[in-house]
């Protein structure tokens, strides 16, 4: 069985929604650059919260350029 990165995030966070959806979106759009605002809109949270949450929940920071 293949586990997606979103599935692994769900196991850690206890949620398959929210930030897990961000991982799914990133994986589906690896062929192009994604903006922080675009990704935050996908999961319906603020870009600032996404930056902070990514570090706390995933152990890495998203880069805003």
Residue 65 lies in a domain: no
Residue 64 lies in a domain: no
What is the SS3 assignment for 39?
A: helix
Residue 47 lies in a domain: yes
Residue 63 lies in a domain: no
Tell me what pLDDT residue 51 has.
Answer: 84
Is this prediction's pTM over 0.75?
A: no
* 37-51 residue pLDDT tens: 998 898 888 888 888
Maximum Cα–Cα distance across the chain: 36
Residue 42 lies in a domain: yes
Kindly tell me if the per-residue pLDDT of 56 is higher than 60: yes
Tell me the residue range of the domain where 52 lies: 5-58
Element (H, E) at 19: helix 19-28
Number of domains, the chain: 1
């Amino acid at each position: 069985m293949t586990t997606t990165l979103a599935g692994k995030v769900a196991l850690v966070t206890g949620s398959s929604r929210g930030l897990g959806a961000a991982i799914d979106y990133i994986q589906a759009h690896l062929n192009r650059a994604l903006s922080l605002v675009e990704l935050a809109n996908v999961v319906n949270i603020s870009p600032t919260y996404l930056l902070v949450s990514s570090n706390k929940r995933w152990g890495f920071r998203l880069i805003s350029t």
